[in-house]
């Protein structure tokens, strides 16, 4: 089934631990994004990638890193998790120029204690 | 800078009636696009409708239509004949010009719609 998959679905993590959220799409979209969704704040862009091999910072990049080794995968890493990173994380992709309709993954609910 | 404002945190609508969800935006970009997404309680984000700033006609997709008033900078979502399955959170979003290497997409804070039987 075409779309975006994210793993894990949910995770409880101790503060200070390293965590990688996985995102894979099979639509061959060039652009991929990571958002965090917090109550009352909507979705905020963490990092983006316009094409394989390139990445960039969004609105709230601090504490997160990404890589884009190929078209399909766009992992998000928290090097040393902090409680303020408790959130729901969505991966998205879009075809053509960045900003076209974005297709979203099912999300990862992360709790940092 | 671009901004999306959704002033209705929550709304109720009777089943089979129409409902309008408000969205206003602010941007200095001459070319931009407006989106609406639905997020049911299961959590996934579902694309509903898109309107380009130069589109002459309001976008429609089935029971969804976007009431685009450019001069007022509003892009309200109209859902006709509400169904129980329409109960969800709705997000308005805007894409603007390329800034910092990407075409920024800004989301509003959402409106929670509840359809009453």
- Tell me the per-residue pLDDT of A86-106, one tens digit each, with 9 for 90 and over: 999 999 998 865 446 889 999
In tens, the pLDDT along A3-36 reads: 999 999 999 999 999 999 999 999 999 889 999 9
pLDDT band of B29, cuts 50, 70, 90: confident
Percent of chain B with pLDDT over 70: 94
- Out of B44, B96, B107, the one facing A106 most closely (by C-beta) is B44
Q: Name every chain B residue with its beta carbon within 8 A of the beta carbon of A104.
A: 37, 44-46
A23, containing H or E segment = strand A19-25
**Distances from the Cα of A72 to the Cα of A27, A77, A90, angstroms:** 8, 16, 15
In tens, the pLDDT along B33-75 reads: 999 999 999 999 999 999 988 888 999 999 999 999 999 999 9
- Say yes or no to pLDDT of B99 above 70: no
Q: Give yes or no for A90 touching B (CB within 8 A).
A: yes
Contact A23, A34 (CB under 8 A): yes
Q: Give yes or no for A48 touching B (CB within 8 A).
A: yes
What mean pLDDT is reported for chain A? 92
Q: Give yes or no for A15 touching B (CB within 8 A).
A: no
B7, two tokens: 């002033």
In tens, the pLDDT along A47-82 reads: 999 889 999 888 899 999 999 999 999 999 999 999
């Amino acid at each position: 089934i075409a779309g975006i998959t994210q793993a894990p679905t949910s995770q409880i993590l101790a503060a200070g631990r390293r965590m990688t959220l996985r995102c894979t799409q099979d639509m061959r979209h060039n652009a991929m994004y990571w958002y965090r969704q917090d109550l009352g704040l909507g979705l905020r862009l963490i990092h983006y990638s316009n094409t394989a091999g390139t990445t960039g910072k969004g609105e709230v990049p601090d504490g997160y890193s990404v890589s884009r080794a190929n078209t399909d995968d766009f992992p998000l890493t928290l090097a040393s998790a902090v409680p303020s990173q408790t959130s729901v994380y969505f991966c998205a992709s879009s075809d053509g120029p960045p900003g076209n309709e974005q297709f979203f993954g099912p999300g990862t609910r992360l709790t940092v204690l | 800078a671009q901004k999306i404002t959704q002033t209705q945190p929550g709304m109720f609508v009777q089943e089979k009636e129409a409902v309008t969800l408000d969205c206003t935006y602010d941007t200095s970009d001459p070319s931009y696009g407006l989106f609406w997404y639905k997020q049911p309680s299961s959590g996934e984000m579902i694309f509903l409708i898109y309107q380009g700033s130069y589109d002459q006609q309001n976008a429609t997709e089935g029971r969804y239509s976007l009431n685009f008033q450019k001069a007022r900078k509003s892009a309200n979502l109209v859902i006709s004949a509400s169904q129980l399955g329409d109960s969800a959170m709705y997000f308005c979003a805007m894409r603007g010009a390329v800034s910092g290497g990407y075409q920024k997409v800004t989301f509003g804070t959402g409106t929670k719609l509840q359809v009453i039987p």
